[in-house]
Structure 1
Amino acid sequence: MPGSLENRPKVWDYETVLEKIGYGKTQWILLLVSGLLTITTVAAQQAMGIIVIASQCDFHTTQAEKGVMMATRTAGLVLSTIVWGYISDDVGRRKVLIYGTFASNALQFSLMFVSDLWLFNIINFFAGISVGSVPAALYPYLGEFNIPRHRAVTINYSTMFVTVSAIIVPAAAWLILSYDWAITLGDFVFRPWRLMLLINLLPGLIGGLVLLYYPESPKFLLSQDKTQEAIEVVTWISKFNKGKSIQQVMEYEEFTLKSEDPDGERLLANSQGIVTKIVQANMPLFHKPHRLNFILCNLAVFGLFFASCGVQVWLPDIVNKLSGDVNNSSTVCKILSLPLGAPQNVTQEDCTVHISSKTYIDNLIVGFAFLLAFSIQGFLLNPLGRKNVLFAALAGAVLSGIFLHFIGNPTGVLVVFCLYILLPGLCISIMIGAIVDLVPTHLRSKAVSFCMSMGRLGVIASTNLIGVMLTPYCNTTFAIFTSTLIVCIVIVRYLPIKNSA
């Protein structure tokens, strides 16, 4: 009997095994893959601000129709992200990432050849639904290949690729749209802006192809009682990182992995359906003691996305219009009082599109400013406190919004616009961190997914509001955004946000 006990394989915790293997090629390449997938997810939306200008002669869009073009992909993201998160807990993170990435790439590729505006919007909407799988499954997948000590830092570096995208998009657009060429195939004309759609999907395509060589998350497999498959994945990680078998690393011929607690009910197999289960799973967030704080957090995140991301999407169109100010002394709203849409009673041959180099330069400046600001913010959060940083950033954004009505100097306008977009954008990551602190562990993923969906609703609202109101009611439009930021300050005042993480 004692002999049989000695022959039993030793049971190890997965994260202990992962720590013994060490950080290596598996994690570094997966971090790069996550960055590529993040770039594709964000770039398609950011590039739409430039594409709506470049495509206005092909689609003969009005200002309101431009707003709809910008909002369709975000609408797909809003409707799908929460559902994708639950599906990834059911069928696996890797499957959701691969199918979602390749489906969104295929849909975006088809957009290159669409000549009807509403068909373009419909396909873009479904592309948004597909790409919603990336934020839902990527962070759990990435995190589960890292030990807890490395997890937060790795995910932080992955999110930094959002700012990289803000630099790549205007740079690529400047390179591609600087050339005036057209390929005519019957009634269809292929112009440079269509090539941008291809460039934007390439990072995701590359990331998806690399991901084909990666296995499913061992932690997910353990939560599904697939211990042997999890051991095979750990063996793969060991050989890839160290070139050694897992037995050599662990110094045990036979071992097994400790089972994980189940990730939750298998939603796809439940007769109630996914939607019903999602509603039931989220209901605790709207009951005491979490209800008030969670609702306030959602309102704040909605307002921050509304004020920052919505204006950022429209920035190329606004800057392109401002570049036509020959006097270099008019305020923003005096310049924008002129119609921004393409002429409606001209033929395609008569219509011309001019995108000033200033449009690309100013957007590049905003991208670099985000990258620098995120780096600085990391050093300020602990000494100053998260709540104090939120107050300072929001107050600066409100002041920028007020100055926007009066400044006429081009450099001053750029600085103010940059702060108006940048400061609320920096607050988003702090608010998401606060949400994690304000709800218990088993509700955190649900809370973050729900709040991010509310934020994207804010982007849809602001892009359409600007499309309809900016030209006839410019000062009122910016006053609405500034008032929203003031409401966010009041909300932050009453939230019990800890000053240290």
Structure 2
Amino acid sequence: MRSSVRAVDFIRNYLLKRHLAMKKEIVMKPSDLVSNIKMEKKGKFLVPSIATLDEAMLATGFGIYNILHMLLSGLILMGVIMQSLSLGYVLPAAQCDLNLTLQQRGWLAAIPFSAIILTSYFWGWLADTKGRRFVMLFSMLISAVFAVLASFSPEIISFAILTFTSAVFMAGPSSVVYTYLGEFTNIRHRDKIVAFGSSFVGIGTVVLPAVSWLILPINISLPISFLNITYRSWRLLVIASNLPLAVGFVLLLFAPESPKFLNACGQQEACLKVLRQMYSVNKRMPQDTYPVKSLVEETQAVKAMESNSLTAVLKSMRDQTEPLFRPPLLKWTFLICFIQFGLFGTTNGFYVWFPTILNSVANHEGSETRICDILNAHQKVPSNGTETICDDTMNTATFELSIYIGLVFCSMYIIVGFLVDFMGKKLILLTILTGTGLCGIGAHLAHSQAAVVLFAIFQMCGACIGLTNAVTVELFPTKYR
């Protein structure tokens, strides 16, 4: 009897050891992955039938699928930027209809960014538990609806509330789109594709003033009696600036969920289905020739919610948050947040004022002086005590200069995309952030035209947004991203 038990134990232990040995042979080592990245340039791979997701992504190659996905993500990103920055062109044209002071314009311009600050964490948590695609589809649709409603606002309060609500949902794709883009590209090309995707931020800064130039000069005066408003061109611009998000929503209906998210959720078969599609399009080969047949499960899988109650939601958010503020992620959390604060504060926060600055400088009559003095001069009441006449006309030079500067922005993003493989992310980040930061200091001290030029260069630090997000994708596990 004992001999039989020993024989069974011997066979079981032998089979277990044999299984583990085979698994070690099948799953590639990190050094093998590095070799594969080098061999990928030559179009060759050593891909086992059971592979990690990074190995499986390398096997899909790089081609048309990745470019089309980059264009889709870029369109969504352009929509986010245009909606965020559109108030910079809308408010100067709407100041008479809504009776806006300079201070009120400042508060209204801050609305999209305050919405992002207040809700991005929620959208990020939702994207890590429900999926990137689901969050973007849901939020983009609702955001577009409220933007249309905001264009019919009769006064400042309703305009502020509807704009804020639209911006709350716009924060969904704003929080997720970079992650969604990065997770569809293999490690060899990820930095480059995210950098090129970020160039749509620059494209947005060209398209927005071009669309504004096209719409704002149109002499529209359509009275809507039950709302007690006159529908003018600036209201049409509010809708037009949301069109990229609307088009992105339609195209996203035909796109799949992120393979990295699917794998993290334990949906290996769904993940493989996406990878086979990528492989088939990139390699122009049948899907059944994809060499990877199964994936190694991630050790840190996304934890499914056991309940939809408020307590469960808060507990899930706490579980997602705590690791970010504990080693080893703590130092990366503070570093990334510090860099992102500077980048978005400059490219978004200051850019909202850029059309106002350009318009004020173009209309300024008198000796050269600092930007702040020019802005104050345009708000002063005449000495005879009469009220200033409301002037909501936009100088055409404002649109022209904005387009030229946007083209420079766009060029910067593209140049960074080409240089990242040669210089590396760290050197590019240090160079651009240092140079643009010094120009920001100089813009405050310089006069008129020189100040405008320095102010424009200052905002070019936005070319580092894509690189910073590429670093974030690498530093943080899928479930915390």
TM-score tier, shorter chain, comes to 0.7 to 0.9
Report the structure number with the largest CA radius of gyration.
2
Asked if 1:393 is matched to 2:436, the reply is: yes
Query: What is the CA deviation profile of residues 54-87 of structure 1, one whole-angstrom value per residue up to 9, with x for unaligned ones?
Result: 1112211111211121111211111221221221
- 2:127 aligns with 88
Deviations, residues 335-392 of structure 1 (Å, cap 9, x unaligned):
322344999x999xx8552100121122223212322344556649559675455434
Q: In 2 relative to 1, CA 300–56 (structure 1 residues): closer, same or farther, beyond 3 Å?
A: same
Specify the SS of the correspondent of 1:59: coil
1:197 is matched with 238
Q: Alignment partner for residue 269 of structure 2, among 228, 236, 253?
A: 228
Conserved? CA contact 2:445–2:451, under 8 Å: no
- Residues of 2 paired with 1:238 and 1:431: CA distance? 28
Deviation at 1:117, TM superposition (A): 1.7
- Cα distance change, pair 416–195 in 1 and its aligned pair in 2 (3 A): same
- 2:251 equivalent among 192, 195, 210: 210
Structure 1 residues 162 and 308: CA distance shift in structure 2, 3 A: closer
| Residues 85 and 348 in structure 2, CA contact (< 8 A), matched pair in contact too | no
Residue in 1 that maps onto 2:287: 246
CA contact (8 A) 2:199 2:410 kept: yes
In 2, Cα distance between the equivalents of 1:280 and 1:249?
37
Contact 1:53 1:317 in 2 (8 A): yes
Q: How has the CA–CA distance of structure 1 residues 120 and 267 changed in structure 2, closer, same or farther, with 3 Å as cutoff?
A: farther
1:76 partner amino acid: A
SS in 2 for 1:103: helix
Query: Structure 2 counterpart of 1:223, which letter?
Result: A
**1:90: how far off?**
1.3
**Paired residues, number:** 428
Superposition map of 1:155-174 within 5 A = 155-174=194-213
Residue 49 and residue 157 in structure 1: after superposition, are their counterparts in 2 closer, same or farther (change >3 A)?
same
Shift of 1:173: 0.5
Q: For the structure 1 residues 286 and 249, does the alpha-carbon distance in structure 2 shift closer, same or farther, using more than 3 Å as the test?
A: closer
1:258 maps to amino acid? V
**Inter-partner Cα distance in structure 2 for 1:260 and 1:290:** 18
CA distance in 2 between counterparts of 1:118 and 1:240 reads: 50
User: Which position in structure 2 is the counterpart of 1:477?
Assistant: none
> How far does residue 22 in structure 1 lie from its aligned partner after superposition?
2.9
1:66 and 2:105 equivalent? yes
Q: Is the contact between residue 401 and residue 420 of structure 1 (CA under 8 Å) also seen in structure 2?
A: no
Q: Is the 8 A contact 1:182 1:189 kept in 2?
A: yes
CA distance in 2, matches of 1:22, 1:334: 56
**1:322 alignment counterpart:** 361
What does residue range 333-372 of structure 1 map to in structure 2 within 5 Å? 333-340=372-379, 352-372=391-411
1:219 alignment counterpart: 260
* Pair 1:354–1:341, CA change in 2 (3 A): farther
TM-score in terms of structure 2 length: 0.77
Assess, with a 3 A threshold, how the Cα gap between structure 1 residues 275 and 49 changes in structure 2: closer, same or farther. Answer: farther
1:204 and 1:401 map into 2 onto residues whose CA distance is: 35
Q: How far apart, in 1, do the equivalents of 2:196 and 2:236 lie?
A: 29
Counterpart among 62, 69, 74 of residue 35 in structure 1 = 74
Question: Which stretch shows the higher mean deviation, 271-280 or 78-87?
Answer: 271-280
- The alignment's TM-score, normalised by the length of structure 1, stands at 0.74
Q: 1:385 to 1:40 in 2, by over 3 A?
A: closer
Distance 1:366 1:275 in 2: 44
Out of 206-215 and 22-31, give the one that drifted further.
22-31
- 1:56-455 equivalence runs, <5 A: 56-186=95-225, 187-241=228-282, 244-250=285-291, 255-267=293-305, 269=307, 272-287=311-326, 295=334, 298-299=337-338, 301-327=340-366, 329-340=368-379, 352-375=391-414, 379=419, 386-387=429-430, 389-403=432-446, 407-408=447-448, 411-422=449-460, 425=462, 441-442=476-477, 446=481
Task: Tell me how far 1:429 sits from its aligned partner.
Answer: 6.1
- Do 2:444 and 2:451's aligned partners in 1 also have CA atoms closer than 8 Å? no
Asked if the contact 1:319/1:359 (under 8 Å) is kept, the reply is yes
Identical amino acids, percent of aligned pairs: 24
- Structure 1 residue 26 corresponds to structure 2 residue 65: yes
Q: Secondary structure at the match of 1:367?
A: helix
| Structure 1 unaligned residues grouped into runs of 5+ | 447-501
Question: Shift in Å at residue 395 of structure 1?
Answer: 2.6
1:412–1:436 distance in 2 versus 1, CA, 3 Å = same
In structure 2, how many angstroms separate the alpha carbons of the residues matched to 1:341 and 1:262?
Answer: 60
Mark the CA change 1:341 to 1:269 in structure 2 (over 3 Å): closer, same or farther: farther
- How far does residue 430 in structure 1 lie from its aligned partner after superposition? 6.7
- Stretch moving more, 173-182 or 212-221: 212-221
96 and 171 in structure 1: CA distance in 2 versus 1, 3 angstrom threshold: same
**Structure 2 unpaired stretches of 5+:** 1-14, 20-47
With over 3 angstroms needed to count, the CA separation of the structure-2 counterparts of 1:395 and 1:128, relative to structure 1, is: same
Contact 1:435 1:444 in 2 (8 A): no
The root-mean-square deviation of aligned C-alpha atoms, in Å, is: 3.7
The one-letter code matched in structure 2 to 1:399 is G
In 2, are the aligned partners of 1:181 and 1:191 still within 8 Å (CA)? yes
Change (3 A) 1:342 1:111: farther
- Amino acid of the structure 2 residue aligned with 1:415: V
